[in-house]
Structure 1
């Protein structure tokens, strides 16, 4: 039987690479993002031909892809150049947990692996349900502030806020999380965080190490409960800021572990 599905896929971000490997369809991938860390073997097996906001167009074209997969408006210029060069491009733009699950199913269907993708998506849904059930048993729900960048301060995107809720916490900037573009989640005044008094602060400064001591030293932030009690934690960006399986498994688990520990320590407060 002739395989009529894409045979030479270039993945401009990590999540399609992770999904295709999980589905056993990694043989279709001919190029990946240089920021890919999941799965680790992908970095050893596939040429790295893009960053997030830039790509090596000549190298991508040399791979003769029959499909290039990217994510969001940030990669619009890359997509435009590839389309003008005659390449088929799919840019996903999902921003929620439901969107990630739909993405897994859609990508699986695009490569003729819908049944495998459905099983994988159901496995993720079961994991989400398990964490929700565990979170429902916690004695308290902390107020949580998630910081995606520090200069300027950018609050968490929608899927992060949703995962915080599933893990047992309440995001202190729910209205910001509904904004899909980072520029619309910039805090002009860090004093807003002080006013909302989070019990836990998570930092995931996309591409650089989170510095809790710098956060704690911000003017006025010494009054925040999370700062007073030392509850500032890094969540590595590859497991939470990629809208793919990593967030639904490792990212969610990391958030829940911190929240569960906090709830155990402050159950009587």
Structure 2
């Protein structure tokens, strides 16, 4: 039975049947596809697709998220290639259309995330599993919002990179997760991932908490010390970047992680 759907960029896709050979160029979406029971259909992943761990040994690595090996992907004869507007470049997406249909997701909000899971359920004929993950996400969200009720808010800066220093701005999934935690992102009015001058942090919003992510840049104790020279009273906390930036099924685990984080504040 023919499947007709639009991806999250509005591109219309038509498949004569449910795609059986998948190449995933997005780590969090690889994890979601696995959790939807699609392990056998996944033929190619990136070197950053670290969950589940055994995929490194059982699936073909086709490059990174910003640089892929087109020939390796072509050899896999995929029916569909799963990409993401933020993770992958427009040039990559355009070059891969010659091989197979490229399904592009665009995730900024939790609703976007739920739509992606629903779409995958239709695309890969796993609607029941998809609905389970939608239900788990909605339950976790409801529970966490109840947990957060009456908790204080804090001004924060969420660092993702060093040399140059970069933070998460507005219009990002990270910012959505910060808001969920009653964190007021002092850079929410800036572009998605602005470069900042750490010496100016106090006049740019004076954060009460500085969050140092474990990815894409693995911040260390010396980085916290350096930032502390310019934030003075701010509390510096190392956080699991996957919990703040990975969408898909990872979000269900993130709610429990966020509770633990809140207890530390």
TM-score tier by shorter-chain length is 0.7 to 0.9
The superposition leaves residues 152-171 of structure 1 with CA deviations (integer Å, 9 ceiling, x where unpaired) of: 22222522222122223322
**2:56: which partner in 1?**
43
Q: Does 1:193 align with 2:210?
A: no
TM-score computed with the length of structure 1 as normaliser: 0.82
Contiguous gaps of at least 5 residues in structure 2: 3-15
Distance 1:200 1:222, change over 3 A: closer
Q: Does 1:76 align with 2:90?
A: yes
Match among 135, 158, 179 for residue 148 of structure 2: 135
For these two proteins, the number of residue pairs brought into alignment is 248
User: 8 Å contact 2:207–2:231 — kept in the other structure?
Assistant: no
TM-score computed with the length of structure 2 as normaliser: 0.83
Q: Does 1:217 align with 2:226?
A: yes
Distance 1:19 1:219, change over 3 A: closer
- What is the distance in 2 between the residues matched to 1:254 and 1:144? 18
User: 8 Å contact 1:212–1:233 — kept in the other structure?
Assistant: no
Q: Does 1:238 align with 2:247?
A: no
- Aligned-partner SS, 1:217: helix
Match among 156, 178, 183 for residue 169 of structure 1: 183
Q: Does 1:155 align with 2:167?
A: yes
State the shift of 1:208 in Å: 3.3
State the shift of 1:205 in Å: 5.5
Task: Report the more deviating stretch, 125-134 or 231-240.
Answer: 231-240
Higher helix share: 1
